Amino acid sequence: MATIHFKGTPVHTHGELPTVGSRAPDFRLVRNDLADVSLADFAGKRKVLSIFPSLDTSVCLASARRFNAEAQAHPDVWVLLISADLPFAQRRVCQAEGLDRVVPLSMMRSRQFAKDYGVLLVDGPLEGITARAVLVLDETDTVRHAQLVDEIAAEPDYAAALAAL
């Protein structure tokens, strides 16, 4: 269990974020066409996992925009936007914002991803959805960068994540 903050108030996660050097857990998430995907679907490529509560918030949307812009300089990297949003909402926001260099993925069928990655909030007003975190995985799904953002309402350290690529 990790302690982070939501607008200054302590909240807790289920488990811990995978550590640098560890192998990323497999996952089952949902694309915006309602197809299930797993980590294996992105095999052989470097990946940025941008995990956040909802694209329907200003900070999450700002983060999605930033990673979308950065993805242009890294065409060989998959940037995965992972949230509890329904795939329909993810698609609508990505289309409206021109987020075409990222892959939105939903936890709509299960919260197991959030548990396995140590980002499921277990208390506070956002209980049941995710904390904000960024992981960078190499081609073998080894974690090269991991940040659980201490304040959910703050953006992640983009420079550190990009340096890990």
Q: Cite the active site residues.
A: 60
Beta bridge partners of 36: 30
The Cα 37–Cα 106 span in angstroms is: 10
Determine phi and psi for 27, rounding to 5 degrees. Answer: -150, 165
